[in-house]
Amino acid sequence: MKALFLCAALLLSGPLQAAQLLIDLGSGSRTWQTAELLGHPEARDISIPNDVSYKRDMHYRAVPLAALLQGLKPEDHLQIVALDGFAAELGAAPLLQRQGARAWLAIEDPANPWPPLAAGKPGAGPFYLVWSDPATGHISPEQWPFQVARIQRMAPVAERFPAMAPDPKLAANSPINQGFALFQKNCLACHRLNGAGDSQFGPDLNIPYNPTEYFSGDFLKRYIRDPQSLRRWPQAKMPGFASTVLPDAELELLLGYLRHMAGRKQQP
């Protein structure tokens, strides 16, 4: 938390200064300075076509995230926390891949700051998780957290937040549990459910009402695909989930989980 506030102070202090990133994998924490990361032995210049946050091709100095996660196992779980409270929940396996969809930590050089994300908004720095070849891994927009301040190993979501877990009588590979996994990947970074979760962004998706209870017909699917096609306002932040990222079959599984949880409401 100390690193979080320090990074925020640095970002608000006028001309861009060096920042620091806290990585805590449970067996000990390490604080990385901007200069250390820019000079990391595996740092390289990369190009990201059609960057998710900037909506255009971008170029970064970046380190393969796997190089910073030494000792992490594929079955482990991570939370990546941004300066604004965005909290992405990611399984470790995709982050450790060295081929296909590959995770990179992009590092903003204070001497060459990145552009603003939009008019009147800050840039994606000081640290930004980007992906090369994201389509090969069905990487969600929620798996591109920017303004990263902290990366930490955590217990699985169901263990930390039992209020959002499906009925424990269901088989581990049931469609509802598959939908729960997709909820964690695509929704949990911005939303809570039954009051459970760490994000401070979007509304709770079960209390007082689940969206499956008030979106009729195919409108919920349309909303997830293109939020501003149904609700448009300048401050809207929810991205659309194209079928290339969230295929129709996976969208049905996600909705199945939400319908299931509408019958498992728990007051915060």
Looking at per-residue pLDDT, the higher value among 9 and 45 belongs to 45
pLDDT of residue 4: 41
Q: Check: CB of residue 93 under 8 Å from CB of residue 138.
A: no
Residue 125 shares a structural domain with residue 182: no
CATH of the domain at 217: 2.60.40.420
For the segment 187-229, what is each residue's pLDDT rounded down to a tens digit? Answer: 988 899 999 988 777 899 999 999 999 998 899 999 999 888 8
Domain that holds residue 65: 2-154
pLDDT of residue 232: 66
Residue 85 shares a structural domain with residue 181: no
Distances (CA, A) of 180 to 28, 54, 237, 248: 30, 29, 22, 16
Domain boundary among 154, 182, 207: 154
For the segment 219-237, what is each residue's pLDDT rounded down to a tens digit? Answer: 999 999 988 887 766 666 7
| % of the chain with per-residue pLDDT over 70 | 92
Question: Please, which residues bridge with residue 78 across strands?
Answer: 90, 153
In a domain, 31, yes or no: yes
In a domain, 267, yes or no: no
Residue 150 shares a structural domain with residue 163: no
Residue 217 shares a structural domain with residue 112: no
Residue 14 shares a structural domain with residue 120: yes
Mean pLDDT of 43-63: 97
Structural domain total, the chain = 2
pLDDT of residue 167: 97
Q: Minimal CA–CA distance to 141: which of 259, 52, 35?
A: 52
pLDDT of residue 1: 41
Residue 24 shares a structural domain with residue 147: yes
Mean pLDDT of 74-99: 91
Residue 15 shares a structural domain with residue 141: yes
Does pLDDT of 3 surpass 90?
Answer: no
Give me 183's structure tokens: 């909820």
Does pLDDT of 8 surpass 70?
Answer: no
How far, in Å, CA of 218 to CA of 232, rounded? Answer: 18
In a domain, 63, yes or no: yes
Residue 32 shares a structural domain with residue 45: yes
Distances (CA, A) of 206 to 98, 137, 263: 37, 29, 9
Give me 3's structure tokens: 């690193």
Residue count (the chain) = 268
